Amino acid sequence: MTVRPFQPTDAPAWVALTNRVLNRHTTLDAWQADETRRPPDRLHCRWVTEQDGSVVGTAALYEWAFAPPGYLHAQVLVHPAARRQGRGAALAARLLATARETGAAGLQADVSDADPDSLRWAQARGFVHAAHRFTSELDLRTFDLGPFQPRLDRVTEQGVTITDLAGADEAALDRYLNFFADRLPETPDLAGHPRWPLAQVRETLHLDRDPRPEWLVQALAPDGTLLGISALVHYRDMAYNEFTAVHPQARGRGLALPMKLHAIRRAQEAGLRTMRTNNHSRNAPMIAVNDRLGFVRQPGRFELHLPLR
């Protein structure tokens, strides 16, 4: 069987296979729009394999912000009807050879926690379990802020003001971005990772293509000190809670949940029906906040690592 580099004409088949295997609903237009935003200087390799002229397997190798330092993210997908024929192994071999050529320290991959066959397939090739992540989803149409008013009152009693960046100047935005970058390495997701450059934070928050300063929530002390943030971005038909964080010296004061309440209210005011966020299984405090707010846990994914050095 032949493994060949991805061509632009493969895009419709690529999207269709990805949707089929990963149970997604991405449109070709949305996929192509994401492609135009991908930094051209970041490594991104793709391959496909065909059967009777149709793409039945894909592989991708690329840099990803949440991969361990020096690691590349790897993905191999094969249509269920074309499995157990060696196609996945052939794609993985090409991907692994390229990763070694680049000098990558290792590979990171993820597998659905409801797909034991794919997990066993990856483990048979040396991948080991590193973490578990899952999405949580909140129905904004039925969420009621009323029962949480006492939590908002407690914040006010502390002299803390929860506001956003609507009308803020560049200095306030710069402080927000730096706070975001400083807190990321304190999370289980990025512990031990280098600090993100501010350009990467700006891209994560869609500031240069869909700026929504009213969705950048912040908690301020009476003297104006920034104590915490909760940032939303807009993805198609939903609000995504990109990050919620509290300064180490302000933790234990119950600020995370009220900031998320403000973020939820802003998403409701925008007329959106759903809000989502991602959870790391070792981030117990934030999972507890999401559970208390009524976020419903969705099927997750196991993060796997394969050291190459």
Q: Are 278 and 135 in contact (CB under 8 A)?
A: yes
Model pLDDT, residue 192 = 87
Model pLDDT, residue 213 = 97
Q: How many CB atoms lie within 10 A of CB 198?
A: 15
Q: Is the pLDDT of residue 76 over 90?
A: yes
Model pLDDT, residue 42 = 85
Measure the CA–CA gap between 162 and 257, rounded to whole angstroms.
Answer: 11
CA angle 206, 210, 215 (to 5 degrees): 75
Q: Is the pLDDT of residue 1 over 80?
A: no
Tens digit of pLDDT for each residue in 100-116? 999 999 999 999 999 99
Burial class (CB in 10 A: 0-12, 13-18, 19+), 134: middle
Bridge partners of 114?
none
Bridge partners of 72?
107
Q: Is the pLDDT of residue 173 over 80?
A: yes
Upper half-sphere CA count for residue 84 (Cβ side, 13 Å): 3
Model pLDDT, residue 236 = 80
Model pLDDT, residue 11 = 97
Cβ neighbors of 73 (< 8 A, separation 6 or more) are 60, 61, 62, 63, 64, 67, 107, 108, 109
Tens digit of pLDDT for each residue in 7-60? 999 999 999 999 999 988 999 999 999 898 888 888 899 999 999 999 999 999
Q: What percent of the chain has pLDDT over 90?
A: 93
**What letter represents residue 100's amino acid?**
R
Model pLDDT, residue 65 = 87
Cα dihedral 67/70/72/73 (nearest 10): -10
Q: Residue 156: pLDDT band by 50, 70, 90 thresholds?
A: very high
Measure the CA–CA gap between 130 and 122, rounded to whole angstroms.
Answer: 13
Long-range contact pairs involving 219-224 (C-beta distance under 8 Å, separation at least 24) = 219/155, 219/160, 219/161, 219/162, 219/246, 219/250, 219/255, 219/258, 219/259, 220/160, 220/161, 220/162, 220/163, 221/159, 221/160, 221/250, 222/159, 222/160, 222/161
- Mean pLDDT (the chain, rounded): 95
Cα dihedral 290/236/115/282 (nearest 10): -30
Task: Tell which residue, 92, 119, 62, has the closest CA to residue 1.
Answer: 92
Mean pLDDT computed over 299-305 = 95
Measure the CA–CA gap between 218 and 242, rounded to whole angstroms.
Answer: 14
Task: Tell which residue, 201, 209, 202, 266, has the closest CA to residue 240.
Answer: 266
Mean pLDDT computed over 155-181 = 97
